[in-house]
Amino acid sequence: MWVSEGFISEKNGTTMEETAEDYLGELVQRSMIQVVERHLNGSIKYCRIHDLLRDLAIEKAKEINFLQIISNLGNKCCNSSTTVRRAALHGDCEDVMQYTGPNLRSLVVFGNDTPIIDNFKNLKILSGSSIYLIHPTKFPKKLTQLRYCWTSGIIEVKSISHMRNLQTFYFDDASLREDYHHKELDCIWNIKTLRHVIFSGYNCFGPPPKTDLPNLQTLKKVRVRESWLVEGWPKMPNIRVLQLIYLPPNYKESFCNFLMEAPHLTSLRVKCNDKPYERLDMSSFPCYDHMQSLLMNGQWNNYECIIGGVKQYKALDIRLFPIHLVKLQIIYCDFQEDPMPVIEKLKNLRKLELNEGQHYQKQLSCSASGFPCLEYLILKQLESLKEWKVEKGGMPLLKEIDITYCRDLVAIPELQHMTRLNKLTLWRVHKNLRGRLEGPESYELQHIPTVYF
């Protein structure tokens, strides 16, 4: 929002988003902002301010007419000004314009079913879960200054084409009108100012082939177009966060070529076709040193050739993984060998998830020097897994373990050596393992504050 408001200026060598994070960090250092939770890479995920500072900020904002908080008492709105430029609306208030005026620049809505009416021609920020954009003949043509749009309310897709200065667009595409066709949304990709586009469902396709989006940094939950393979991928040279769904296995070469042209990529999530065991060949995946988060949903094709009808597998190579990963999620992958001795060499890894492997290894083993920074471990639906081993000294910083639907798992490491562990979930594991930990071996869990079976 700071960027869309125009509060942040361009600086050589950094994006406006990076500058905004620096400003936020400075406020934290001055104790004006309190950090609630951080991302795994250390950036701030959630924050808050002290009640006293909040009250002071609201009072000063009213004095200089910087911000107004509009709330309804029954059916009547109060605490409003028709000259206000920024407003936060709490509750239901049908006639928003009556209490804000035409000079409104920023509107954040906390309420239900709040329609937007037709005179917000200067609006730059629009945020609210139930905002309706369904009258394209009335007001969307006047929203030409809009830069930030966040809504999960009903939207008329064609109205987006008039938002020619749009930078951030977050939309719950599950609420698209019933007569929506995915080609209608192509109008959004004509907006060259786009910086962040996030969908929350699985209904929206990515940009048409060869679309030039020079400023786009975030693109989440878009479906891969079949035409990308023939006509070429969109051009997104500054993309940093990318999430693709329904990627066909035969896209391997073109996908890798696209990634080679995205040198700033730090987070990648890829889901293969809706057939859960489609294979994605990762042998030529470009491993960027600065990539921090990687999710691969689809089997990794790690065999070299077929001899006499038998697949000849090659050993898992650490070079498959970016060396600075802090988060790694691997889903629907059936490794032919224990992947832990390789993955444990990722010295910066803080979260690891292995999920849904039909023919997974029966044993996972970690050495005494493995996973020096790992804090979160998730093992889900590994049907063949029987034993998990960790040598003393391994995983020294582990905080949470989540093991679910590993029905054959009968052995786990001695947990009393994991002194930082504060949460353990063992759900749908072998009954013998649960019986031991609830009975004669319960002493291993005494130092763990939260345990779920």
Per-residue pLDDT of 103-131, as tens digits, reads 788 888 876 655 555 567 788 998 876 66
**Does residue 40 carry a pLDDT above 70?**
yes
Pairing of strands 44-48, 34-38: antiparallel
Higher pLDDT, 12 or 280: 12
Mean pLDDT across 14-32:
94
Segment 343-347 long-range contacts (CB within 8 Å, at least 24 positions apart): 343/371, 344/369, 344/370, 344/371, 344/394, 345/318, 345/370, 346/318, 346/321, 346/371, 347/323, 347/372, 347/373
Band of pLDDT at residue 74, cut at 50, 70 and 90: very low
Number of C-beta neighbours around residue 433 at 10 A: 20
Band of pLDDT at residue 181, cut at 50, 70 and 90: low
CA separation for the pair 20, 3 (Å, rounded): 8
CA separation for the pair 121, 86 (Å, rounded): 14
Q: What is the pLDDT of residue 312?
A: 55
Helix (H, G, I), strand (E, B) or coil at 352: strand
Band of pLDDT at residue 71, cut at 50, 70 and 90: confident
**Does residue 136 carry a pLDDT above 60?**
no
CA separation for the pair 244, 442 (Å, rounded): 44
Q: What is the pLDDT of residue 306?
A: 45
**By the 8 A CB rule, do 237 and 15 touch?**
no
Band of pLDDT at residue 301, cut at 50, 70 and 90: low
pLDDT > 90 in the chain, percent: 45
**Does residue 140 carry a pLDDT above 60?**
no
**Nearest alpha-carbon partner for 242 in 305, 308, 192, 197:** 197
The tokens of 211 are what?
């679309």
**Does residue 242 carry a pLDDT above 70?**
yes
The tokens of 271 are what?
């889901």
Q: What is the pLDDT of residue 28?
A: 96
**Does residue 178 carry a pLDDT above 90?**
no
pLDDT digits (tens, 9 = 90+) for 420-453: 999 999 999 999 999 999 999 999 999 999 999 9
Could you report how far apart the first and last alpha carbons of the chain are, in Å?
A: 42
Mean pLDDT across 221-232:
88
**Does residue 240 carry a pLDDT above 90?**
yes
